[in-house]
Amino acid sequence: MALPMNEDEVSCNVKLSVLPAHVAIVMDGNGRWALQRHLPRVAGHRAGVEAVREVVTVALEQAISAVTLFAFSSENFSRPLQEVNFLMKLFSTVLEREVDKLHKNNVRLRVIGDRQRFDNRLLASIEQAELLTENNTALTLVLAVNYGGRWDITQAVQRIAQSVAKGDIKPEAITPDHISSCLSLYDLPEPDLFIRTSGELRISNFLMWQLAYAELYFTDTLWPDFNRQAFMQALQSYQLRDRRFGLTAEQILNA
């Protein structure tokens, strides 16, 4: 859970000294945010876009190298068709509207997930955004759309099995690094910090392989209310974590 910090203890405009290189976030609570205000659920999804902007702004200011946002899970396709269609349309519209801003701020955009259920407009928006920003270096912003951790591992295993069948690799040569190289985030460091909003205490099939050693941070804040201060509080909580990766504290001190 989030560490109990008072608002006056959270400095929002300073450069932090110990930072995660990669932050992964489950953006949860849009629907509840809207229902609390007697608004349709889609209003919460619209409001959540501003929280994404806040996270990107802080990540750029703090020189975080990568942020991965869980925008839409493969399980979300089971939601009411009207909401699914709205989310896909909103995603396409936001991509088209925001990509130039991202590019001007030297942000590289990537989309991970199974694209087979995307319509032609969305596919075109994704491809154009990725192509435009592919050489940017200030921040890699990854949007996980129609993504699931089990899907990610399954497609990696299928690729490796094909290589084994062709004789390109022997089964005993398969290593964790080899599996990692076949996953969606093959070219990024594994997340150091995982954040989930809205009070839910689970990872919900998100980056199951890659989160093995991530620091977990849960907050009751609903995603549309996850502003600069809330993100900075999560980053400051990360600074207090003792990361040992299976080693003893003495080994870390003597390294």
pLDDT in tens, 6-41: 444 445 666 777 899 999 999 999 999 999 999 999
Tell me if residue 76 is catalytic. Answer: yes
pTM of the model: 0.89
Rounded mean pLDDT, 144-161: 96
Rounded mean pLDDT, 124-140: 97
Confidence bin at 90 (pLDDT 50/70/90): confident
Catalytic residue, candidates 8, 76, 105, 225 = 76
Which residues are within 8 A (CB) of 165 and not within 5 positions of it... i.e. 6 or more apart?
none
CATH classification (class only), 18-149+190-239: alpha beta
Tell me the pLDDT of the chain averaged across its residues: 90
Per-residue confidence (pLDDT) for residue 4, from 0 to 100: 40
Which residues are within 8 A (CB) of 41 and not within 5 positions of it... i.e. 6 or more apart?
30, 31, 34, 35, 83
Catalytic residue, candidates 6, 28, 100, 135 = 28
Three-state SS for the chain is: CCCCCCHHHCCCCCCCCCCCCEEEEECCCHHHHHHHCCCCHHHHHHHHHHHHHHHHHHHHHCCCCEEEEEEEEHHHHHCCHHHHHHHHHHHHHHHHHHHHHHHHCCEEEEEECCHHHCCHHHHHHHHHHHHHHCCCCCEEEEEEEEECHHHHHHHHHHHHHHHHHHCCCCHHHCCHHHHHHCCCCCCCCCCCEEEECCCCCCCCCCCCCCCCCCEEEECCCCHHHCCHHHHHHHHHHHHCCCCCCCCCHHHHHHC
Per-residue confidence (pLDDT) for residue 242, from 0 to 100: 82
The residue extents of the domains of the chain are 18-149+190-239
Higher pLDDT, 9 or 102: 102
Tell me if residue 28 is catalytic. Answer: yes
Rounded mean pLDDT, 190-204: 97
